[in-house]
Amino acid sequence: MTQKVAFIGLGNMGGPMAKNLINEGFAVTVYDLNKDAMAELKAAGASIAAQATDAVTDADFVISMLPNGAIVKSLYIGNNKGNNGLISHLKKDVLVIDSSTIAADDARTVAKACEISGIAMIDAPVSGGTAAAQAGSLTFICGGEAEHYERAQPVLQAMGKNIFHAGTSGAGQVAKICNNMLLAIHMIGSAEALNMGAQQGLDPAVMSDIMKASSGNNWSLQVYNPYPGVMDNVPSSNGYQGGFMVDLMSKDLGLSQELAAKSQSATPLGALATQLYQIHQAAGQGGKDFSSILEMLQKN
Ligand code: NAD
């Protein structure tokens, strides 16, 4: 029998992820505050819902891909503005999969609220960016009970290539935040090195080839070069539009520093990366892709 998926949050990531589920034969009902995003999914074969509650009532899986923890908690648990949350509208045998990047504590709060109502939930944040979301090759980093993780496999495999079980509820978010702190650090480092080479008159494309074949090689250089014109199909060659917004990277770095304080872990480079992205965001660049940190270095 065709399995029904409710998909909430159709942004840069959620839109292409929902399209891949449709292409893999799931019956997908979508909801987003943005009507244009819903129209795009309708054209791709999704049913659209007028409210999030309408999308989930007969769903076998609910997937959310939303900007932050406050929104995720409000969606599932409700808020004090008369919204009582989705949990009370779900079938008992549904599996909730939240793929947003949020604090581990927020993920555990939602999972606990689900558990109290007899609903299964896993956190399953992703890595790989918009290109991987489109290609169906995302990495999913999951936290929750093994049984629920196993049940999620067909849905996650329709959208991703590498699927990990990091541990119990919230563990997916912890692993994801550690990864994104490292991502910010190597993106800034790559941008610094390319900018310094270019200011010395070197060609950033040649510099990139040299560093990719040397000990400075990293993901930012390999697949997400921050210097305009070095690679096709990356945000730096498209005015830093699309991709992974500075606003979202700033959020993730903020989460990394909360986690660092809580676990008494020294993360001095993470702290510096947080500050640099916050300065870049405060300068009005929050809507650009995070590789635009190169522009901030060029100005200073
Ligand atoms: P986005 O801002 O492009 O999309 C978020 C979508 O959620 C928007 O379409 C917005 O209208 C919708 N939305 C907001 N509040 C809503 C609500 N209450 N109900 C329904 N829809 C609502 O963000 P994105 O880039 O797609 O990122 C989504 C999540 O994925 C974030 O948590 C982000 O940190 C994470 N992430 C993003 C990337 C990336 O490369 N963009 C990579 C990995 C993880």
Mean of the per-residue pLDDT values for the chain?
96
pLDDT per residue as tens digits for the range 248-273: 999 999 999 999 999 999 999 999 99
Ligand 1: residues with CB < 6 A are: 8-14, 31-34, 37, 52, 65-67, 71, 75, 100-101, 126, 129-130, 243-244, 248
Q: Please list, in sequence order, all residues whose beta carbon lies within 8 angstroms of the beta carbon of residue 187, skipping any fewer than 6 positions away.
A: 220, 224, 226, 290, 291, 293
Supply the DSSP symbol for 61.
E
Q: How far is the CA of 9 from the centre of ligand 1 (A)?
A: 6
Q: How far is the CA of 212 from the centre of ligand 1 (A)?
A: 31
Q: Which amino acid is at 22?
A: I
Give the closest residue (by CA) to ligand 1 atom 20: 32
**pLDDT interval class at 153 (50, 70, 90):** very high
Read off the pLDDT of each residue in 135-140 and give the average, rounded to a whole number. 98
Please give the pLDDT value at position 82. 67
Q: Domain ranges in the chain? A: 4-168, 174-298
Q: How far is the CA of 11 from the centre of ligand 1 (A)?
A: 5
Catalytic residues, which ones? 176
**Lowest-confidence segment of 76-80, 93-97, 228-232 by average pLDDT:** 76-80
CATH number for 174-298 (one of 1.10.1040.10, 1.10.10.10, 1.10.1370.30, 2.60.40.1180): it is 1.10.1040.10
Please give the pLDDT value at position 142. 98
CATH number for 4-168 (one of 3.60.70.12, 3.40.50.720, 3.40.1360.10, 3.40.140.10): it is 3.40.50.720
Q: Which amino acid is at 120?
A: A
- Determine how many CB atoms are found less than 10 A away from the CB of residue 296: 18
With a cut of 80, say whether residue 44 has pLDDT above it.
Answer: yes
Which residues lie across from 139 on neighbouring strands?
Answer: 127, 162
Please give the pLDDT value at position 193. 98
Tokens of 186: 């190597």
Q: What is the C-alpha end-to-end distance of the chain, expressed in Å?
A: 59
Give the closest residue (by CA) to ligand 1 atom 25: 12
With a cut of 70, say whether residue 155 has pLDDT above it.
Answer: yes
Please give the pLDDT value at position 79. 84
**pLDDT interval class at 287 (50, 70, 90):** very high
Index of the ligand 1 atom closest to the CA of residue 37 = 9
**pLDDT interval class at 14 (50, 70, 90):** very high
As a whole number of angstroms, the distance between CA 57 and CA 50 comes to 13
With a cut of 70, say whether residue 9 has pLDDT above it.
Answer: yes
Looking at the chain, the whole-number percentage of residues with pLDDT higher than 90 is 95
Please give the pLDDT value at position 300. 74
Q: How far is the CA of 8 from the centre of ligand 1 (A)?
A: 9
Read off the pLDDT of each residue in 89-106 and give the average, rounded to a whole number. 97
Angle (CA) 287 67 83, round 5°: 130
